[in-house]
């Protein structure tokens, strides 16, 4: 998606010798809601014929984009929570996710009452790198018996293995910007 | 706001002998984006003449509603983060927040580059009870030198002290549903 690639070139900041792309100014600290709306329209162009009933994402930075995407589809958002809080009781689906950023494992959970075999689910997230978060969400969808239609990703680090692994497993993955390589000198898109 | 009060009566669940209101089915686990859009329109009716330049909220459950509200105002969202991650570097505004839910303190932070004395800020959050999160956000806005226009809250537990304390401090607080009392028998709105 040209609009997103242009924005990444303009405002993205590459750190830690090319391993980290910061998009804090428009995607995951400050959020440009107009850009998100354009991304939502593009996801709807790609997945709008699939009878999606629910958008599933993971807290925290996926929630904003997912809500705006959900408006384009006219369906609710469900976000997986990273820890058990007082505000969720009853039975939940859980899955373990490894965070490569923080070097730790964490649990994600979704209340069972909000996913059923009648749902057709689109996963949405801001980044795809190693694919661990998306795999956790896939696991939860499979536990629920819902149909998993695919994953809509804003930015895929295509030089990391997550996207290929997910596609090889049969998941339809649509990434609006796919980064082939990045260094402190710049970014190359696929 | 009648629409929100009706939805709370219909789908809210009161737990722990009247101390916890669960709105997981439409506001902070699953999110009804159409309802959020109606709330956004109401916040715009209340604050639309104030020249807002930025919506500030706090992760995680505030992000979704804030993004949809921000669309109504045509401005970006900024969400305060709860811990320092690799993806934020540089200088940040920080404030300590006490969580009455979890009985712990945590730090919230906003990158300095995204708030300036030129900004006019509306705080948005899903719940107001003791007001600790809003006080943390106020502190950050004050550090930045931006103008703080007010706070737009979805659900205020008016039987807890946060709303009164904030209003007494001079903050304009607009809550779309104000709960006067709740028990396992039901809810009374102000």
List the single residue in B with minimal CA-CA distance to A63: B64
Instruction: Compute CA distances A95 → A32, A118, A174, whole Å.
Output: 31, 21, 23
What chain B residue is nearest to A71 in terms of C-alpha separation? Answer: B33
Q: pLDDT by residue (tens digit) across A108-125? A: 999 999 999 999 999 999
Taking only residues 53 to 72 of chain A, the set having a beta carbon closer than 8 angstroms to any beta carbon of chain B reads 59-60, 63-68, 70-71
**Which residues from A are below 8 Å from B30, CB to CB?**
76-78, 111, 114
pLDDT confidence of residue B86: 45
In chain A, residues with a C-beta closer than 8 Å to the C-beta of B26 are 76
CA B78 to chain centre: 12
Give me the percent of chain A exceeding a pLDDT of 70.
Answer: 96
Q: For chain B, give the longest Cα–Cα distance.
A: 51
Q: B-chain residues within 8 Å CB-CB of A79? A: 29, 31, 60, 64
Determine the average pLDDT of the residues in A68-92: 82
What is the ipTM for the molecules in this complex?
0.93
Pairing of strands B173-183, B186-189: antiparallel
pLDDT value for A59: 93
- Distance between CA A111 and CA A116 in Å, rounded? 11
Q: Which among A7, A13, A30, A140 is the top mutation candidate for probing chain B, defined by the most B β-carbons within 10 Å of its own β-carbon? A: A30
Non-local CB neighbours of A133 within 8 Å, separated by 6+ positions: A58, A97, A108, A125
Q: Is the pLDDT of residue B176 over 80?
A: yes
Chain A residues whose beta carbon lies within 8 Å of the beta carbon of residue B20? 86-87
Is the pLDDT at A87 greater than 50? The verdict is: no
Average pLDDT over residues A28-51: 97
Q: What pLDDT does residue B85 have?
A: 52
For the cut 60, the answer to whether the pLDDT of residue B52 exceeds it is: yes
Q: How confident is the model over B107-151, as pLDDT tens digits?
A: 999 999 999 999 999 999 999 999 999 999 999 999 999 999 999
CA distance B172 to chain A (A): 24
Cα angle: B118, vertex B122, B128; to 5 degrees:
150
Q: Dig out the tokens for B149 from the structure.
A: 């226009």
Phi, psi of B157 (to 5 degrees): -85, 90
pLDDT at A154 > cutoff 90: yes
pTM: 0.94
Query: With an 8 Å Cβ cutoff, are B87 and A22 in contact?
Result: yes
For residue B174, with 0-12 CB atoms within 10 Å meaning exposed, 13-18 middle and 19 or more buried, which class applies? middle
In terms of CA atoms, which chain B residue is nearest residue A101?
B86
- Measure the CA angle with vertex A30, ends B93 and B8; round to 5°: 100
Token pair, residue B147, equals 């103008």
- Mean predicted confidence (pLDDT) in B14-29: 91
- What counts of helices (H) and strands (E) characterise chain B? 5, 11
Indicate the DSSP class of residue B105.
E
With an 8 Å Cβ cutoff, are B20 and A87 in contact?
Answer: yes
- Model pLDDT, residue A90: 58
Chain B CB contacts of A88 below 8 Å = 22, 24, 29
> Would an 8 Å CB–CB cutoff place B16 in contact with chain A?
yes
- Give the H/E segment covering residue B30: strand B30-31
Q: Find the mean pLDDT for residues B148-169.
A: 97
Per the CB < 8 A criterion, the answer to whether A75 and A55 are in contact is yes
How much is the average pLDDT of B51-66? 96
Comparing CA positions, the residue from B107, B43, B100 lying closest to residue B75 is B43
The dihedral region occupied by B17, where left means phi > 0, alpha psi between -120 and 50, and beta the remainder, is: left
Calculate helix-pair angle for B62-73, A33-47, nearest 10 degrees: 100
Q: Which residues pair with A128 in a beta bridge?
A: A156
CB-based contact (8 Å) between B85 and chain A?
Answer: yes
Closest CA to B141 of B57, B76, B66, B33: B57
Please state, as a whole number, how many other Cβ atoms lie within 10 Å of the Cβ of residue B99.
Answer: 14
CB atoms within 10 A of CB B11: 15
CA-closest candidate to residue B75, choices B59, B57, B56, B55: B55
The answer on pLDDT for A56 being more than 60 is yes
Q: What angle do CA A82, A88, A92 make, to 5 degrees?
A: 70
- CA dist., res. A67 & res. A51, Å (int): 17
Which residues in chain A have their CB less than 8 angstroms from residue B67's CB? Answer: 31, 33, 36, 63-65, 67-68
Contacts of B81 in chain A (CB under 8 A): 29, 60
Minimum CA–CA partner of B66 in chain A: A64
* Cβ separation A76–B31 shorter than 8 A: yes
pLDDT classification of B89: cutoffs 50, 70, 90: low
Region B27-45: mean pLDDT is 97
């Amino acid at each position: 998606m040209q609009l997103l690639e242009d924005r990444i070139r303009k405002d993205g900041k590459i750190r830690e010798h090319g391993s980290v792309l910061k998009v804090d100014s428009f995607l995951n600290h400050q959020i440009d809601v107009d850009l998100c709306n354009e991304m939502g329209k593009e996801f709807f162009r790609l997945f709008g014929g699939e009878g999606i009933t629910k958008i599933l994402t993971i807290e925290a930075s996926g929630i904003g984009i997912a809500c705006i995407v959900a408006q384009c589809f006219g369906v609710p958002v469900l976000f997986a929570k990273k820890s058990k809080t007082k505000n969720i009781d009853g039975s939940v689906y859980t899955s373990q996710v490894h965070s490569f950023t923080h070097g730790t494992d964490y649990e994600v959970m979704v209340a069972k009452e909000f996913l059923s075999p009648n749902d057709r689910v689109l996963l949405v997230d801001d980044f795809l790198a190693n694919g661990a978060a998306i795999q956790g969400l896939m696991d939860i969808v499979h536990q629920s018996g819902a149909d998993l239609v695919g994953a809509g990703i804003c930015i895929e680090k295509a030089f990391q293995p997550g996207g290929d692994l997910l596609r090889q497993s049969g998941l339809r993955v649509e990434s609006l910007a796919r980064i082939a390589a990045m260094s402190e000198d710049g970014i190359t898109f696929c």
